[in-house]
Amino acid sequence: MGLARWPLDAFSSLVMTIHMNTLPQPLDRQHKSEATPKETGGDKLPDSFDALASELWVASTGSVGLLSSALGRVLSWRLEEAEDILHSELRQIKRRLTRVGEVEEATGMVLRYIRAAQEGTCELNLRIMAKVIRGLATRSRAKASEFLRYADAVAGLTVEEITVITCLLEKTVELDEFGLAKERDNQAWSQMIDELVPSMFTDQQHVAEILLTASRSGLVTKAAPFKLGPFCTTPFLHDLAELASLRRAITEEGLDW
């Protein structure tokens, strides 16, 4: 039977069938997250956090060049510092991104970091956030939603708040190591006050006020509900500290006390 004698609709149906069979078939959500880039029919995706961040940074910050030359330079300098901080941590991640789902989760983390940098977040906070990404990347199933919790808690803290939180955390961990959990909170508070007052802060009231505002992050809380102090650390802060060293971030920023 010659091709010219085929009915037009039958010929069109055959062409469509052949065409669809040669295209990558769409994947449902579950299979897409486990798929390799090749199975999605797309181009090669970045296979490391560092390479992914480089691509996302260019795509997310390119509009800075549209600003006036002076303002553009100022913002470019800020963003370059933030990018350097991010890459200094991501370059140390050995894990490769082999699945589409992993790339999606990593993308969510990096984009949240970039947004914080664009909003003018302090470099100390950005350094902690970058360390959290690195810490989460060591886990087999790193989730962007986890990072968002930590990022939202850290991004809005002041340098003073991070300093006091870090000191309280260190005193608490030291007491835990000595098996003094029963009186841990009160002792950690007293030791922190001895270290920070009056070398950094005027008095105990000043420190308590700093921690009161910092408690919005969920990293610290009042040990006694109806008193201004003492404050104590929360499990959320200890989880954060397992992912990122607050003291190291402070040291790298030259802010040790």
Note the pLDDT tens digit of each residue in 70-83: 877 778 888 999 99
Q: Average pLDDT, stretch 165-190?
A: 88
Report phi then psi at 54, rounded to 5.
-60, -45
Which segments within 58-207 are labelled E, that is strand? none
Q: Given a cut of 60, is residue 31 above it in pLDDT?
A: no
Asked whether residue 33 is domain-assigned, the answer is no
The parent domain of residue 69 ranges over 49-155
Based on the fold, state whether residues 166 and 179 are members of the same structural domain: yes
Integer Cα distance of 52 and 55 in angstroms? 5
Using an 8 Å Cβ cutoff, are 115 and 73 in contact? no
Asked whether residue 26 is domain-assigned, the answer is no
Number of domains the chain contains: 2
Enter the pTM of the model.
0.82
Which is higher by pLDDT, 130 or 31? 130
Nearest to 240 by CA among 171, 152, 141: 152
Among 106, 139, 155, identify where a domain stops: 155
Distances (CA, A) of 179 to 38, 174, 224, 242, 251: 53, 9, 22, 19, 28
Asked whether residue 202 is domain-assigned, the answer is yes
Based on the fold, state whether residues 116 and 172 are members of the same structural domain: no
Based on the fold, state whether residues 197 and 127 are members of the same structural domain: no
Asked whether residue 146 is domain-assigned, the answer is yes
Q: Given a cut of 70, is residue 67 above it in pLDDT?
A: no
Based on the fold, state whether residues 143 and 163 are members of the same structural domain: no
The three-class DSSP label of residue 232 is strand
Amino acid at the residue 85: I
Amino acid at the residue 224: A
Least confident of 52-66, 96-110, 121-135, 150-164: 52-66
Q: Average pLDDT, stretch 12-23?
A: 46
- Which pLDDT belongs to residue 32? 52
Distances (CA, A) of 196 to 55, 65, 167, 174, 257: 43, 44, 8, 17, 8
Based on the fold, state whether residues 248 and 165 are members of the same structural domain: yes
The three-class DSSP label of residue 222 is strand
- Which pLDDT belongs to residue 19? 46
Based on the fold, state whether residues 144 and 217 are members of the same structural domain: no
Nearest to 163 by CA among 126, 223, 214: 214
- Which pLDDT belongs to residue 178? 79
pLDDT band at 43 (very low <50, low <70, confident <90, very high): low
Asked whether residue 23 is domain-assigned, the answer is no
- Which pLDDT belongs to residue 18? 41
Q: Average pLDDT, stretch 112-139?
A: 96
